[in-house]
Amino acid sequence: MNTVHQSVSLKPSCVVGIGASAGGLEALQQFLTFLPSNTGMAFVIIQHLAPDHKSMLAGILEKYSAMPVTEIRDGMTIERNHVYMIPPRYNVEIEEDVLHLKEYDLGIINHPIDIFFRSLAAAYENRAVAVILSGTGSDGTSGIRSIKEQNGVIIVQTPESAKFDGMPRNAIATGFVDMVQNPDSIAKEMAHIAASIIESNSRFLLSDQDLMSQIFSILRNVTNINYAYYKQTTILRRIERRLVITHSRNLNEYVTYLNNNPEEAKTLAKEVLIGVTSFFRDSEYFDVLKETVIKHILRSSPREKQIRVWVAGCSTGEEAYSIAILFAEAMEELGFRRDIKIFATDLESDSIASAVRGVYSDNIIEDVSVTRLSKYFTRKGNKYVIHHDIRQMIIFAQHNIFQDPPFGRLDLISCRNVLIYFQTVLQRNLFAIFHKALNDQGYLFLGRSESVIDYDEIFRGVCANEKIFIHNIAGKAPVHEHFAYTMPSFENMLEPIPIQETEDDAEVKHKSAELDTSVLEALMPACVLVNEKNELVRSYGDCSQFLSIPSGDATLDIFMLIRPDLRIAVSTVLKDSREKDEKVSYENVPVRLSENPEHIAIVAQPILDRHGLKTNFTGIAFLRGNAELSGNVEEYRIDTAASKRISDLEQELRLTKDDLRQTVTELESVNAELQAANEELLTANEELQSSNEELQSVNEELYTVNSEYQSKVNELASVNDDMANFLSTTLVGILMVDKELKIRKYTEYISTEFNLADQDIGRSLRYITFNFTTVDLMQQCSQVLSTMDPIEQHCASIAGKTYLIRIAPYLSQEGGKLEKADGADVRDQMTTLQGLVLTFVDTTKQIDDQEQIEEIARALRKAVRTGQEKENFLSQMSHDMRTPMTAISGLTELTLKDASISDSVRDNLEKIKMSSDYLVGLIEEILETSRINAGKIVITSSAVREETVIGSVQTIIEEQMRSAGLHFSVNISGSQNRYVLMDVPHVERVLLNLLSNGIKYTPRGGEVSFNAEVRYANNCAQYTYTIRDTGVGITDSFKQKMFLPFEQDIREGDLHDGAGLGLYICRQLVELMGGSIECESSIGKGSIFTVRLSYSLATEEQIALSAHRAETYEDQVLYGKNILVVDDNRINAEVIIKNLNTKGIHAELASDGQEAVDMFLARGPYHYQAILMDLMMPVKSGEEATTEIRHLPLEDASTIPVIGLTADVTEGVEERCREAGMNSFISKPVESEKLFYMLAELFQKKEQGEQ
């Protein structure tokens, strides 16, 4: 269950796909730098990468993000606050929360960003965020359509900030983009988007109808469109997205924003109307449409009839163009043409403007087949432009279906994915409109998820699956309210963009030519100049009687312009003149220019240029009257001329026929060749386009690789700088040489002993002089080169300095080739010897210092020895004194019990007892001090209720306070009386000591208070104990030394006794427990001692152990016992004590037999419940000590269990132990279970014995 819960919690709130290409690295670095690391989103970076190049991007980008940056592995589960990086050669898709990798085919154009965005939209719907950063091309443009369709957020880098603006600009051109910002702003926006998307799911549960009405009202004012009958969910989804973009926290805020920003109302209206469309969307539906509907319409329509189609809600025109293409294809396949008129309308003006242009990004290759692309589009740069023929079929117009009158007499209406925006009431109206607009048996083509609701009798399914319906005009229409049309809006109809004709250059007319013309016009007879095509080029003189403009199409053909009665004559003379290439004149040509018939002469002459060369022009002059003719003058006879003319025409016709036949043959051949060539060109063109795209793609990849290298180069430069600075500033001489001992690098510092300069780099070390005469450097270098073992040696330079020289091999790690093993890249590492590194460390000062240190150490050792000797003396003396003093005290007490002694003797004995008790106390303190100094006091903590110690201290001291006539108060604040780990005896000892001092130094009637204040922090109980008295106070001079051993504040008349060790012991114990002690005091006012100690809170196990809830009887028996461990080897003793502590056994340590005897005696009867005694010890062996203890005058001396410890398991050990008075023995290493068992058994026996 936990695992499931954990995996749910790791899921991202939404996933951000980031598409980048050339120049993307810089944008990504900027983006990640400013990206918060706790948005709860996951980020997937789809960067165009070179397929054969191992990407370093993850490593580079990691430095810019606090989130982990991971290269994607197939099947990886996506987690929140993680960045994922596409690997080279793969496309990434996301399904639920798992990333899948698919290797792509290197031979085809790949759009990894589109692929990922589409899968992201499907998987995360409105929780998908698409970001497009720098890059060329249009990858991502198609993908954001899917994101938009699912109401996701789309953010694009500003083209100005992008290194390459192709991808951002193409994305912006779609009109789907929500925000255009710089990468840093996009990053900062992420946290807001994440929060808004999480909130949005619940935000509209409380949607307010009043506010919605306000929004509709605003939209109506701005767009003149009533959105009230549009689907609320669609509008709400758009509003929801706008809330995110405008940073509005709720609908109320958004309405205010709308009121203040008219532009936002336009944007929202546009968002509501925005249609996501594509060419041949649901291509199988379009195939059926073409075969079933379009071909049927074409076949059944009369030739002269115009076929009318209405594409309602055409958005950016893809659907209209798709239908036009289908008509073009169908007509081609059927082998005839028809007049097609497609009316494509939309409410949104920007969409219509875009549709009119007919220019689309290269992403349409995913929707449009290569054949259609080459046939109906022209590629311009990275855009596709629709062909003129297709464009001509369509009339685009901004049109409101419900307000503007519909188109009529239609054969087909395509209205796809429009109904989904409307509520049922609007849908019914729309069908009523279509009912009026469509011809009977006309067709209606709807979107994949749309239906004809109540109009199923009017629109009957032809291909129900493909949503194609046929119009049955006789069907019964349902009754409902109809909307009235308003002003028609066809004034906005947009005609196809006219293709600009190329203007001919204006003719240059010279003034002289104009004069010439005027003269000729005035003086010349009527003349015309014709070209080889018999076209009139120019006329001179008054030709009005000979030429006239015929009705019909305008023409320059001279035979059409010339008077009919002169046609034969002119054609004959023209032909003659051309054939003979000379001037030919016909005279007496009859003509009726006026009422009376008359004869004129016609002269035809080929025209030469100014150089006398032949031109294509022939001049024809019409001469009236008796003009004198020269040259070839023939009498014009109409019959001869006519028969000649007929013969000529027949000849010409024959020739023309032959020519025509030949031309047709040639044309057919050429046509076939051209067709073949055209196909080849088409293929070549496609290949070139493909190659071009590949090159572009490779170029982008190279750019990315280059950026990565650039980044690495910068890192290397930085490392080099570090290295150079290190080498120039280090106070260690470093010399690097290659295998031939040629110098590669050196530090400045080395030049103090080597005569080196920069020009010596590359020279062999053999030729460099240096100041070391006592060492053969060359020989040692050779040795290290051969053995590869470093050498270290001390040597002195001529200058008197000493150095530590180290010669070590210079090894380089060389990577082997990349291999794939189990899907992981493996890089072989080979170490090769490249040369040597010689290090010279100046040890002159170090050696001098070393000598000084040794001298100081000698002095210190001597002082310590003296101190130790002094302490040993005191300790030894105390040992020696304690036994007789104890005996004196004991014997005195015995004697005092004798009733027969006299009063004076009793008085003396009491004084002896008091003095001896004082001396024993003094000796105890000295011995304890000695143990502290020798580090023999071990702090052992066990779990106790924290107030326990305060209670026990209070109980002990209260009686003494009363006896001393003092007012005593105890106060605890902040305590929760929890279980803490505390060394109770030592804490008690400290507190009792301080309180005893209070009693000692406070006059009768005074006050002593004991406060304990607790704070809990860091799993500890932090205690501040305050012991306050109203006593005599402490002098300032004594305050300085009050915690030193054997220091006492002795004042006149002072009756207080002691050795001056109490406070010293207190401080030592407090410090051993990790605490502190301090004192404030004023003479005559009293003193305040503050002790601060911190106790760890006990764990359940520790409490269980201490609370005597042990599972075994053995544990119960052992818990809380106090054992004296006697072993001269501290390590062994500590191991034993560690084991004892686990059972809640308190242990004290004595380091030899004598100390054990002393401690046993000093602690008094029943202080210890057992003794673990090592046999072999200095001063006094374990056997001797046990024997002595057994004879001490203490009640438990003979009964306390003593267990011998020995590493010696030779024969007779057991007997020796028994003889010495030990109960048992155990061999080393001391196994805890064995020891516990033995102890428990002994305790039990002892208990039974006592009973």
Partner 1 sequence: MDVLFSELKAWGADTDSAVRLVLGDKGFYYEKLSEFGELKETELLKEALEDKDYNRAFRIAHDLKGVTVTLGLMPLHYAAAAVTEDLREGHHEDLFRDMEILLGEEAAFLKILSRRAV
Q: Which is nearer to partner 1, 797 or 1206 (CB)?
A: 1206
Using the rule CB under 8 A, is 1184 a contact of partner 1?
no
Single residue of 332, 1208, 1219, 1247 touching partner 1 by CB under 8 A: 1208
Using the rule CB under 8 A, is 1096 a contact of partner 1?
no
Q: Which stretch binds partner 1 (CB under 8 A): 1008-1016, 1107-1115, 1137-1145, 1164-1172?
A: 1137-1145
Please indicate whether residue 21 is annotated as part of the active site.
yes
Residue 144: burial class (beta carbons within 10 Å; 0-12, 13-18, 19+): buried
Q: Which stretch binds partner 1 (CB under 8 A): 256-264, 292-300, 853-861, 1130-1138?
A: 1130-1138
**Partners of 310 in the β-ladder:** 343, 413
Single residue of 155, 265, 444, 1230 touching partner 1 by CB under 8 A: 1230
Q: From CA 1056, how far away is CA 1037, in angstroms rounded?
A: 18
- Please work out the total of residues on this chain that contact partner 1, with binding judged by CB under 8 A: 23
Q: Which stretch binds partner 1 (CB under 8 A): 35-43, 507-515, 534-542, 1138-1146?
A: 1138-1146
Q: Which is nearer to partner 1, 129 or 1156 (CB)?
A: 1156
Q: Which of 82, 97, 119, 139 is catalytic?
A: 139
| Minimum gap (Å) between residue 1131 Cβ and partner 1 | 5
Q: Which residues of 1199-1218 are buried (b: 16+ CB within 10 A; e: fewer)?
A: ebbbbbbbeeeeeeeeebbe
Single residue of 354, 427, 1081, 1206 touching partner 1 by CB under 8 A: 1206
Q: Which residues contact 249 (CB under 8 A, 6 or more apart)?
A: 243
CA atoms within 13 A on the CB side of 781: 22
Using the rule CB under 8 A, is 1135 a contact of partner 1?
yes
Q: Which of 21, 315, 351, 875 is catalytic?
A: 21
User: Contact, 88 vs 102, CB < 8 A?
Assistant: no
User: Contact, 238 vs 268, CB < 8 A?
Assistant: yes
Residue 263: burial class (beta carbons within 10 Å; 0-12, 13-18, 19+): exposed
Using the rule CB under 8 A, is 1207 a contact of partner 1?
yes
Q: Which residues contact 923 (CB under 8 A, 6 or more apart)?
A: 878, 881, 882, 885
* 148 phi, psi to nearest 5 deg: -65, -40
| Minimum gap (Å) between residue 79 Cβ and partner 1 | 32
Using the rule CB under 8 A, is 1232 a contact of partner 1?
yes
Q: What is the dihedral of CA 15, 16, 21, 25, to 10 degrees?
A: -110
| Minimum gap (Å) between residue 1128 Cβ and partner 1 | 7
| Minimum gap (Å) between residue 1137 Cβ and partner 1 | 11
- Give just the sign of the alpha carbon dihedral 667, 669, 673, 678: positive
Residue 257: burial class (beta carbons within 10 Å; 0-12, 13-18, 19+): middle
| Minimum gap (Å) between residue 1225 Cβ and partner 1 | 13
Using the rule CB under 8 A, is 1228 a contact of partner 1?
yes
Q: What is the dihedral of CA 1033, 1038, 1039, 1044, to 10 degrees?
A: -130
Q: Which is nearer to partner 1, 804 or 1135 (CB)?
A: 1135
Please indicate whether residue 207 is annotated as part of the active site.
no
User: Which has the closest alpha carbon to 135: 61, 72, 45, 52?
Assistant: 45
* Beta strand segments in 298-392, E: 307-312, 340-346, 359-361, 377-380, 383-386
Specify the DSSP class assigned to residue 1228. S
User: Contact, 473 vs 440, CB < 8 A?
Assistant: yes
| Minimum gap (Å) between residue 1207 Cβ and partner 1 | 3
Using the rule CB under 8 A, is 1229 a contact of partner 1?
yes
| Minimum gap (Å) between residue 835 Cβ and partner 1 | 27
Tell me if residue 503 falls in helix, strand or coil: coil
Using the rule CB under 8 A, is 1026 a contact of partner 1?
no
| Minimum gap (Å) between residue 1180 Cβ and partner 1 | 12
Other Cβ atoms within 10 Å of 161 Cβ, number: 19
| Minimum gap (Å) between residue 72 Cβ and partner 1 | 35
Q: Which is nearer to partner 1, 318 or 1152 (CB)?
A: 1152
Using the rule CB under 8 A, is 1115 a contact of partner 1?
no
Residues in region 1147-1176 near partner 1 by CB under 8 A: 1174, 1176
Q: From CA 1236, how far away is CA 1118, in angstroms rounded?
A: 8
Q: Which is nearer to partner 1, 247 or 1130 (CB)?
A: 1130
Q: Which is nearer to partner 1, 808 or 1176 (CB)?
A: 1176
Using the rule CB under 8 A, is 1134 a contact of partner 1?
yes
Q: Which stretch binds partner 1 (CB under 8 A): 173-181, 310-318, 1080-1088, 1125-1133?
A: 1125-1133
Using the rule CB under 8 A, is 1128 a contact of partner 1?
yes
Using the rule CB under 8 A, is 1102 a contact of partner 1?
no
Using the rule CB under 8 A, is 95 a contact of partner 1?
no
CA 331 vs CA 291, 297, 324, 325, 377: distances in Å: 11, 11, 11, 10, 18
Q: From CA 412, how far away is CA 437, in angstroms rounded?
A: 10
Q: Which two tokens stand for residue 565?
A: 């009665």
| Minimum gap (Å) between residue 1209 Cβ and partner 1 | 10
Please indicate whether residue 139 is annotated as part of the active site.
yes
Q: From CA 171, how far away is CA 166, in angstroms rounded?
A: 9
Using the rule CB under 8 A, is 1138 a contact of partner 1?
yes
| Minimum gap (Å) between residue 1234 Cβ and partner 1 | 11
Q: From CA 766, how far away is CA 777, in angstroms rounded?
A: 9
Using the rule CB under 8 A, is 716 a contact of partner 1?
no
Q: Which is nearer to partner 1, 1026 or 1132 (CB)?
A: 1132
User: Contact, 442 vs 462, CB < 8 A?
Assistant: no
- Active-site residue set: 21, 48, 139
Q: Which residues are near partner 1 by CB under 8 A?
A: 1128-1132, 1134-1135, 1138-1139, 1142, 1174, 1176-1178, 1206-1208, 1210, 1228-1232
